[in-house]
Structure 1
Amino acid sequence: MGVIKLKNIRTFSFHGCLVEESKIGSDYSVDLKIKTDLTTSCLSDELNDTVDYVLLNKIVVEEMAIRSKLLEHVAQRIIFRTFKELPQVSKVTIGVSKLNPPIGGDVESVTVELTEDRN
């Protein structure tokens, strides 16, 4: 088994419960970690024997572009889509962070992190 991580995928998205958030948007950061068998790709040095992180990034960017009220919801969509499109992935951990959230304080970010194993 092995792990592939994409750290600090940056997007500008429109998530949030406030009407203003749906109009002005915010900066987000996503960390994605997947677990998969890397044995074959370690030996073959072939892209088709591994999980292409370009596709992982594409899934994150496309799902982040779809508005959600809750970070939990968008994170779960990314997990579902990763499992659907990449059957070799056995586990996904994702952290979705809203940078400078409008919560009435000096807070750098708020993060929701989910981990799921393939059933």
Structure 2
Amino acid sequence: MGTIKLKNIRTFSYHGCLIEEGKIGSDYSVDLEIKANLKHSAESDNLIDTVDYVHLNKIVEEEMAIRSNLLEHVTKRIIDRALKEIEMITKIKVGVSKLNPPIGGDVEAVTIEMEEERYFNL
């Protein structure tokens, strides 16, 4: 088993329940951590034998471009799509952070973190 992490994927997106958030947008940061069997790729040195982090980054960027009211919703979409498109993933953890959220206080970020595990039928 191994871990692949993508840290601080930065996007400018339009998530939020307030109408203004959908119009002016905000800065976001996404952290992604996946578990997969990396033994074969460590031996083969072949991209086809591993989880391509370029593909992971593309999923994050595309899903962050689709407006959601809640960070939970976009986080779940990222998880679902990664598990659907990349069969090697056995576990995924995603954190989506809204930087400088408009909540009437001095808050650096609000983060939603969710994880899911793929269960294989034996």
Q: Assess same fold via TM > 0.5.
A: yes
- For residue 94 of structure 2, what is the aligned residue in structure 1? 94
Over residues 66-104 of structure 1, what are the superposed CA-to-partner deviations in whole Å (9 max), with x where a residue is unaligned? 000000000000000000000110100000000000000
Extract structure 1 runs of 4+ deviating beyond 4 A: none
CA RMSD across the alignment: 0.4
How much has 1:118 moved relative to structure 2?
A: 1.0
TM-score, structure 1 normalization: 0.99
- For residue 20 of structure 1, what is the aligned residue in structure 2? 20
Aligned-residue sequence identity (percent) comes to: 71
The number of equivalent residue pairs is 119
- For residue 117 of structure 1, what is the aligned residue in structure 2? 117
SS of match in other structure, 1:105: coil
Distance across 1 between alignment mates of 2:115 and 2:16: 21
Q: Which runs of 5+ in 1 are unaligned?
A: none
Over residues 35-92 of structure 1, what are the superposed CA-to-partner deviations in whole Å (9 max), with x where a residue is unaligned? 0000000001110000000000000000000000000000000000000000110100
SS of match in other structure, 1:62: helix
SS of match in other structure, 1:92: strand
Q: Which runs of 5+ in 2 are unaligned?
A: none
TM-score, structure 2 normalization: 0.97
